[in-house]
């Protein structure tokens, strides 16, 4: 079998890249090790930058997010039991974010790919990549014990943090990593969100809490937990009680609780692998970088990688130019590091760190007090939250 671009991974990165390339007339095959249901079963991101929403429209799958997404013009910061709105839209001359679950994005992209009859190999075992340092890359994989080989011009490693692509070039990579001394317990419930028009970020002496949503009838909440906690230690009652203790009294009173339909614990880490290109192999999304979810940047960074990479492939095939390909890693990493900084900063500001004690809490409260009273600092938060322009910083 042969194609122009072999895409490893059918998460949002791989599916979005596949759709954009298809729209540009570039053949591509996606090879995924899990089943479609398994991929859809992962509960992850919930807040989209406008760049991601625009890309979904460019990919021809923007209809549902336009109809069902909830536009947010602000966020709420809670500290010392008081709530402070940040007018994100006012501080960014009209920019917004949209609440729409990653699961729905994946579903929309999977449906579009299936409708277009594009080749997607699910439940592929023992995927391996070859020849990408030369002119004839290929991908090998097994289906029901039968080995297959896919020849291609390029390989896009969209296979996430635990994928095979970065592992294959491990010796040629410089890694930068910070593991945070805590995790998040996430809970999904079919109850109306306590704050349907703004994500709530709460700093409290007991730890961080976050109130988000998936729709006007489905809510997504998180509480910071010790790094070695197991989800079995978090009953629904314990979760709701702890979340209430981290919010301001009015919000704690207003929250509607209900049985969890999903509950899981995620570790928090910052991670970047440099470079993101190895000959004819390109890494995109979580395969190349991870951010703590505090800043809602992981999925949005995957979107900007895919925008840069799809544009580069289109230039290669349509304009016979490799400028975009040669510039991809440097361009993507510049944006990655800006998001890494913002996510690290917001995580450091909002979470309880075991080793900084009472002094650390007081410094965080002082910084939050300054932030909510300083237009300059609020604007800095707002412009990073909505996402800096794709060409930010380019002279
Ligand atoms: P993914 O990991 O989503 O997809 C990679 C795909 O590759 C998977 O389907 C996997 O099965 C497949 N794969 C792996 N190895 C393979 C192999 N050897 N062969 C073939 N296929 C292989 N981001 C935000 O922006 N906002 C948030 O609020 C947010 N919350 C999050 C909460 C949690 C708990 C987690 C874990 C992440 C969160 N993220 C958030 C980040 C998350 O959304 C990722 O950025 C996003 O899934 C990245 O998408 P992909 O790069 O496609 O990687
Ligand atoms: C979510 O809705 O899952 C979410 C929202 C904002 C964040 C992190 C997660 O910063």
Q: Specify the 3-state DSSP secondary structure of 390.
A: coil
Residue 158, domain member (yes or no): yes
**Ligand 1 site, residue 44, Cβ cutoff 6 A:** yes
* Residue-level pLDDT at 242: 98
Q: Specify the 3-state DSSP secondary structure of 57.
A: helix
Residue 308: count of CB within 10 angstroms of its CB: 22
* Residue-level pLDDT at 30: 98
* Residue-level pLDDT at 174: 98
**Ligand 2 site, residue 293, Cβ cutoff 6 A:** yes
Residue 210, domain member (yes or no): no
Residue 50, domain member (yes or no): yes
**Ligand 1 site, residue 45, Cβ cutoff 6 A:** yes
Q: Please, which pLDDT band fits residue 354 given cuts at 50, 70 and 90?
A: confident
Look up the domain containing 53 and give its range. 5-70+100-177+269-349
Residue 58, domain member (yes or no): yes
What CATH number should be reported for the domain holding residue 62?
3.50.50.60
Q: Relative to the CA of 9, which ligand 1 atom is closest?
A: 7
Residue 193, domain member (yes or no): no
Query: For the whole model, what pTM was predicted?
Result: 0.97
* Residue-level pLDDT at 357: 86
Nearest Cα neighbor of 336 from 269, 267, 268, 272 is: 272
Residue 380, domain member (yes or no): no
Question: What Å distances lie between residue 353 and 85, 227, 349, 360, CA to CA?
Answer: 24, 11, 10, 8
- Measured from the alpha carbon of residue 214, the closest ligand is 2
**Ligand 2 site, residue 199, Cβ cutoff 6 A:** yes
**Ligand 1 site, residue 381, Cβ cutoff 6 A:** no
Contact yes or no for 180/226 (Cβ under 8 A): no
Which run of H or of E encompasses 218?
Answer: strand 218-226
With the most atoms of ligand 1 within 8 angstroms of its CB, the residue from 8, 19, 102, 142 to mutate is 102
- Condensed to tens digits (0 to 9), the pLDDT of residues 79-125 reads 999 999 999 999 999 999 999 999 999 999 999 999 999 999 999 99
d(CA 179, CA 341): 14
**Ligand 2 site, residue 212, Cβ cutoff 6 A:** yes
Contact yes or no for 295/385 (Cβ under 8 A): yes
- Condensed to tens digits (0 to 9), the pLDDT of residues 195-236 reads 999 999 999 999 999 999 999 999 999 999 999 999 999 999
Residue 250: count of CB within 10 angstroms of its CB: 11
Residue 105, domain member (yes or no): yes
Cα(186) to ligand 1 centroid in Å equals 16
| Residue 181, token pair as written in the block | 């001394």
Active site residues: 72, 201, 293, 297, 385
The DSSP annotation for 85-121 comes to EE-HHHHTTS--EEE--HHHHHHHHHHHHHHTT--EE
Cα(295) to ligand 1 centroid in Å equals 16
d(CA 25, CA 16): 14
Q: Please, which pLDDT band fits residue 304 given cuts at 50, 70 and 90?
A: very high
**Ligand 2 site, residue 46, Cβ cutoff 6 A:** yes
Cα(365) to ligand 1 centroid in Å equals 33
Cα(311) to ligand 2 centroid in Å equals 28
Q: Specify the 3-state DSSP secondary structure of 197.
A: coil
- The residue whose C-alpha atom lies closest to atom 1 belonging to ligand 2 is 46
| Residue 167, token pair as written in the block | 């592992």
Q: Relative to the CA of 294, which ligand 2 atom is closest?
A: 10
Mean pLDDT, rounded, of the chain: 97
Cα(392) to ligand 1 centroid in Å equals 25
* Residue-level pLDDT at 393: 85
Cis, peptide link before residue 275, omega less than 30° from 0: yes
Q: Specify the 3-state DSSP secondary structure of 204.
A: coil
Residue 324, domain member (yes or no): yes
DSSP β-bridge partners for residue 31: 8, 121
First to last CA, the chain: 43
* Domains: count for the chain: 1
Cα(208) to ligand 1 centroid in Å equals 23
């Amino acid at each position: 079998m042969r194609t122009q671009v072999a895409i490893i991974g059918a998460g949002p990165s791989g599916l979005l890249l596949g759709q954009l390339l298809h729209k540009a007339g570039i053949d591509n095959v996606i090879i995924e090790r899990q089943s479609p249901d398994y991929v859809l079963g992962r509960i992850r991101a919930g807040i989209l930058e406008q760049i991601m929403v625009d890309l979904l429209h460019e990919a021809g799958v923007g209809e549902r997010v336009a109809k069902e997404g909830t536009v947010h013009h602000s966020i709420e910061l809670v500290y010392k039991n008081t709530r402070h709105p940040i007018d994100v839209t006012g501080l960014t001359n009209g920019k917004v974010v949209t609440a729409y679950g990653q699961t729905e994005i994946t579903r929309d992209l999977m449906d579009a790919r299936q409708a277009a009859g594009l080749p997607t190999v699910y439940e592929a075992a023992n995927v391996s990549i070859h020849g990408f340092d030369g002119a004839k890359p290929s991908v090998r994989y097994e289906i029901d014990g039968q080995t297959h080989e896919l020849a291609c011009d390029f390989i896009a490693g969209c296979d996430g943090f635990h994928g095979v692509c970065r592992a294959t070039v491990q010796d040629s990579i410089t890694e930068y990593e910070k593991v945070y001394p805590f995790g998040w317990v996430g809970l999904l419930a079919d109850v109306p969100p306590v704050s349907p028009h703004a994500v709530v970020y709460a700093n409290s002496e007991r730890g961080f809490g976050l109130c988000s949503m998936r729709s006007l009838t489905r809510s997504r909440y998180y509480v910071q937990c010790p790094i070695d906690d197991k989800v079995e230690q978090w009953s629904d009652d314990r979760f709701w009680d702890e979340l209430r203790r981290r919010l301001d009294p009015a919000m704690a009173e207003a929250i509607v609780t209900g049985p969890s339909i999903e509950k899981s614990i995620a570790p928090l880490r910052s991670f970047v692998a440099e470079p993101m290109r190895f000959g004819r192999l390109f890494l995109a999304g979580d395969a190349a970088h991870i951010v703590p979810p505090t800043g809602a940047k992981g999925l949005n960074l995957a979107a900007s990688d895919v925008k840069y990479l799809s544009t580069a492939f289109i230039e290669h095939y349509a304009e016979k130019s490799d400028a975009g390909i040669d510039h991809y890693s440097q361009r993507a990493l510049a944006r990655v590091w800006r998001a890494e900084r913002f996510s690290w900063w917001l995580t450091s500001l909002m979470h309880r760190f075991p080793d900084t004690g009472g002094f650390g809490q007081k410094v965080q409260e002082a910084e939050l007090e300054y932030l909510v009273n300083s237009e300059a600092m609020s604007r800095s938060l707002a412009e990073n939250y909505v996402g800096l322009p794709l060409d930010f910083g380019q002279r």
